[in-house]
Chain A
Amino acid sequence: MSLKLTRRNALTGAAALGAASLLPNGFSRPAAAEDTTLGVFGPLPPDPAPPGAAKFAGAEFDAWKAANGADVTYDLVAWPQLHDRMATAFASGSAPWDVMYNCGWVPEFESFLLPFVDDLPKELVDDMPGSSFSTVTWNGKSYGAIFTLSLLTLFYNKEHLDEAGLGAPPKDWDEFLRYTKELTRDGRYGFVSNYGEPAGIGGTASYWMAFLQQAGGTMYAEDGSPAFNTEAGVAALQMMIDLQEAGTDPGSISYVGINDATNVLLSGRASMMMNWPFMWKPAQDPKGSQIVGKLAASVLPAGPAGTASIDGTDAWTIGKSTKDAEKARKLIEFYLDPVIQKKQALDTGWLPIRLSVLNDPDVQAAMPLAKVVLDQAQHPYDSFVTPDYNEISQAVGTEVQKALQGQKTAAEAIAEAESLASAIIARRG
């Protein structure tokens, strides 16, 4: 909003203040149904932006606004800046938004959010994977609705596998290691990842959490205390170390964002990586990809306990200071409507969260990946978000990095990581 500080504006403002103070309810006049304006805070496209911000379902969005007597204004920033903008606004008590994008930060911002999931229609909730609510639930209350099924799966270059005589993708850890070794040839690497940033969803710690679940481990005990210094925790890290030695791109330890690692795969310099569904669409664009038509995906190779993954946790939440909680919830319901979800998938490349839309033949035909991610969703996936997720993942991720660089053994790193995590949780109280 721009505000011109002119004498005329000052006088007009003063007159308006005087008039408003004469109203029976002062400033608290309830907004008429037809003049509600909802403020939505979210990421800029091509990250998962909603209708009206990204170019899809524009007509449906206009129709929804007309039918609900609501206008919607968007405050969009680049994804990497979302968290800091929200944290500052919440901390100062001046968050102006009704609906907000969240990504694993629900426990951290819990006190500023409104639980609303119990009020969602049953048919909607039943049409979403039950696990999708785990990362938006804290202290028994659900504060958000995931709107895209974004699970880490295995992406691989079919051509490279065919050349190496490896028909199907690796099914378990042993095959994963063997494939990585055999695919490391001709100046390229069998596997690539981004281990440069320890913290956050998509950081080094989160990759280890996927391996941890594949090994049958978990991050926390029932009482919330760290419980990962176990055989499974060490085995998960040892698998990452072995993968490194088998033929992971050595640059992986310095690639900070998944963009860097994705570019290695898209340029044909690596054969496999763990990545998110969104990379499917850019990989088919010849402007930015040298492996058009060569990419395939499968569920992550199984560890001793089977396959398991982590989720991207992209969710819509409602702020406690919302002007109209009901309309804010209805807007989220609109974002999750099957028609909108289908357009979201087909037009933007972001998979839907609704199971019915994931099973839609049009969606599966346009995005063969949908079936793979749906399959991955049948298995455990947990990103273990907590209010101090950033701190804990920073501590754990840093220890994992040390082990990957040979500075510590897997057992030493995991023991130290649990000790650091315990201290962080003790401070939380």
Chain B
Amino acid sequence: MSFASARGRGRGFRLLVVVGLILFVVWSAAPILWLIVSSLMQQQALIVQPPDFSPSNFTLENFTEVILSAASLGRGILNSFIVALFSTAVALVIGAPAAYALARLAVPRANALAFLVLATQMLPGIAIAIPLFLVISRLGLIDNVLALGMVYLSFNLPIVIWILRGFFLAIPEGIEKAAAVDGAGVVGTFLHIVLPISIPPLGAAAVFAFVEAWNEFFFALILTRQDAQTVPLVIAQFAGQYQTLFGQMMAAATISIAPVIALAIIFRNQIVRGFADGMMKG
């Protein structure tokens, strides 16, 4: 039911919908709000119960300490950017034509192939950890950001293909037929007709792939040493065996989520349209 149709149901119902939405937003945003609040609080104020929210307990010290003392945070963010950008860009460049081929071209056993692509995602990470480590290690690519990007590409590519294939399947065939009548070949139709109308799903797939790569922890842990560490590893460094520096950990996490949130805000229209189109047409 849309909000527009709810509008016709009277004030009480609309109020209920608004309250429900507010509750949902508060529920969803609470962890992020708590992340930001705790990043601004002193450790001793965080460990008491309930936490002591006195104004004197708020400080920027966690941020200054994280920025000044953990030089690895800047490097981690840069590495995460490189890895996420690389795997996302390549996934789109390879994934979009692959998805189009599986959706529209006369590929033998296209559905089986598409399922095979998805099947690569069905193995738990731990099952491939050692063989993957072995390969990367033998190639001398441990602690290499591009090698990590290649690994993430192998996870992101199937997801991108599946998101885009669903969208391409939903495009009316008449559009492509009209292009063919005008003399466009398969590549021309894909580049000049299909891609321009696929910006929203491409954006949605890109954001999805970027966030997946940005947040990944396990493979970054085993495939990097010091130079190629990504931001989740840097954040984890604040949790030790006997002591967790909650404030600093939260400050580092707040800094690290900022680019992703900025990305989501900048591309919010594309993301919403991309997923909405996929849902309606897929």
Interface residues, chain A, with chain B CB atoms under 8 Å away = 1-3, 5, 43-44, 46-47, 75-81, 84-85, 88-89, 91-94, 96, 202, 257-259, 262-264, 266-269, 276, 278-279, 282, 286-290
Q: In the complex, what residues of B have CB within 8 A of residue A5's CB? A: 146
Say yes or no: B143 contacts A1, CB within 8 Å.
yes
Partner of A91, one of B130, B227, B238: B130
Q: In the complex, what residues of A have CB within 8 A of residue B137's CB? A: 92, 94
Q: In the complex, what residues of A have CB within 8 A of residue B142's CB? A: 1, 94, 96
CB distance from B72 to the nearest CB of A (A): 10
Residue of B nearest to A259 (CB): B244
Say yes or no: A78 contacts B239, CB within 8 Å.
yes
Residue of B nearest to A95 (CB): B137
Partner of A257, one of B49, B233, B244: B244
User: B236 at interface (Cβ–Cβ under 8 A)?
Assistant: yes
Ordered by A's residue number, 18 sampled pairs between the chains whose C-beta atoms are within 8 Å are A2-B145, A46-B242, A47-B240, A47-B242, A78-B233, A78-B238, A80-B240, A81-B221, A84-B222, A89-B133, A92-B133, A94-B142, A259-B239, A267-B48, A267-B49, A269-B48, A288-B47, A290-B47
Q: In the complex, what residues of A have CB within 8 A of residue B44's CB? A: 266-267, 286-290
User: B269 at interface (Cβ–Cβ under 8 A)?
Assistant: no
Say yes or no: B241 contacts A80, CB within 8 Å.
yes
Say yes or no: B225 contacts A3, CB within 8 Å.
no
Over the window 209-245 of chain B, the binary record of Cβ atoms lying under 8 Å from chain A Cβ atoms (1 yes, 0 no) is 0000000000001100111100001001111111110
CB distance from B57 to the nearest CB of A (A): 11
Q: In the complex, what residues of A have CB within 8 A of residue B47's CB? A: 263-264, 266-267, 288, 290
Can you add 4 more A-B contacts, CB < 8 Å, to A81-B233, A258-B241, A268-B48? A84-B222, A92-B133, A257-B244, A269-B48
Cα of A276 to Cα of B49 in the assembled complex, Å: 23
Cα of A146 to Cα of B88 in the assembled complex, Å: 46
Residue of B nearest to A187 (CB): B49
Q: In the complex, what residues of A have CB within 8 A of residue B197's CB? A: none
Say yes or no: B243 contacts A85, CB within 8 Å.
no
Cα of A94 to Cα of B244 in the assembled complex, Å: 31
User: B140 at interface (Cβ–Cβ under 8 A)?
Assistant: yes
Say yes or no: B243 contacts A259, CB within 8 Å.
yes
Q: In the complex, what residues of B have CB within 8 A of residue A267's CB? A: 44, 47-49
Cα of A407 to Cα of B51 in the assembled complex, Å: 33
Cα of A94 to Cα of B237 in the assembled complex, Å: 24
Task: Give the size category of B's interface with A.
Answer: 35 or more
Cα of A387 to Cα of B124 in the assembled complex, Å: 25
Given contacts A2-B144, A92-B134, A287-B42, contact A75 B240 (CB under 8 A): no
Residue of A nearest to B46 (CB): A263
Residues 6-32 of B contacting A (Cβ, < 8 Å): none
User: B43 at interface (Cβ–Cβ under 8 A)?
Assistant: yes
Q: In the complex, what residues of B have CB within 8 A of residue A88's CB? A: 129-130, 133, 222
Cα of A202 to Cα of B145 in the assembled complex, Å: 35
Residue of A nearest to B43 (CB): A288
Q: In the complex, what residues of B have CB within 8 A of residue A92's CB? A: 130, 133-134, 137
Say yes or no: B242 contacts A279, CB within 8 Å.
yes
Given contacts A267-B47, A269-B49, contact A94 B134 (CB under 8 A): yes
Partner of A1, one of B144, B238, B244: B144
User: B141 at interface (Cβ–Cβ under 8 A)?
Assistant: yes
Residue of B nearest to A103 (CB): B241
CB distance from B277 to the nearest CB of A (A): 38
Q: In the complex, what residues of B have CB within 8 A of residue A47's CB? A: 240-242
Cα of A267 to Cα of B42 in the assembled complex, Å: 13
Q: In the complex, what residues of B have CB within 8 A of residue A85's CB? A: 221-222
Residue of B nearest to A1 (CB): B143
Cα of A84 to Cα of B125 in the assembled complex, Å: 13
Q: In the complex, what residues of A have CB within 8 A of residue B141's CB? A: 3
Say yes or no: A81 contacts B236, CB within 8 Å.
yes
Q: In the complex, what residues of B have CB within 8 A of residue A268's CB? A: 48
Given contacts A2-B228, A3-B140, A263-B47, contact A84 B221 (CB under 8 A): yes
Partner of B240, one of A44, A84, A89, A202: A44
Cα of A276 to Cα of B47 in the assembled complex, Å: 19
Cα of A76 to Cα of B137 in the assembled complex, Å: 18
Say yes or no: B227 contacts A1, CB within 8 Å.
yes
Residue of B nearest to A3 (CB): B144
CB distance from A282 to the nearest CB of B (A): 6
Cα of A94 to Cα of B233 in the assembled complex, Å: 21
Cα of A398 to Cα of B144 in the assembled complex, Å: 40
Q: In the complex, what residues of A have CB within 8 A of residue B226's CB? A: 75-76
